[in-house]
Amino acid sequence: MIIEMDFGKAWSLQKTEKVVFIDVRSENEYELDHIPNAVNIPILNNELREKTGILYKQVGHEEARIYGFQQIAPILPKIVEQIIALSKEAKVVIYCWRGGMRSQAVAAVLDIMRVPVIRLNKGYKGYRNYINEFWQKPFPFPVVVLNGFTGVGKTKIINAISVMPHFANQTIDLEGLAGHRGSAFGAIGLMPQPSQKLFESRLWYATENFSYNKPVLVEGESKRIGNILIPDSLFNAMQKGSCIFAYDTIENRVLKIIEDYEPQKAPLAIVEAIERLKGSLGKEKTVSLAQSIKNGVYKPVVAILLNDYYDPLYKHTKQRESNYNLKVDAANTEKAALVISEYLANQ
Residues annotated catalytic, as ranges: 96
Q: How many Å apart are CA 46 and CA 52, to the nearest integer? A: 10
Cβ–Cβ < 8 Å for 46, 28: yes
H or E stretch covering 299: helix 299-305
Q: How many Å apart are CA 285 and CA 203, to the nearest integer? A: 39
Residue 148, Ramachandran bin (φ over 0: left; ψ between -120 and 50: alpha; else beta): left
Q: Got the DSSP string for 116-155?
A: -EEEETTHHHHHHHHHHHHHHSPP-S-EEEEEE-TTS-HH
Q: How many Å apart are CA 147 and CA 222, to the nearest integer? A: 11
CB-based contacts of 191, cutoff 8 Å, min separation 6: 179
Q: How many Å apart are CA 225 and CA 234, to the nearest integer? A: 14
Q: How many Å apart are CA 177 and CA 193, to the nearest integer? A: 9
Q: How many Å apart are CA 222 and CA 317, to the nearest integer? A: 9
Neighbours of 32 (CB within 10 A): 15
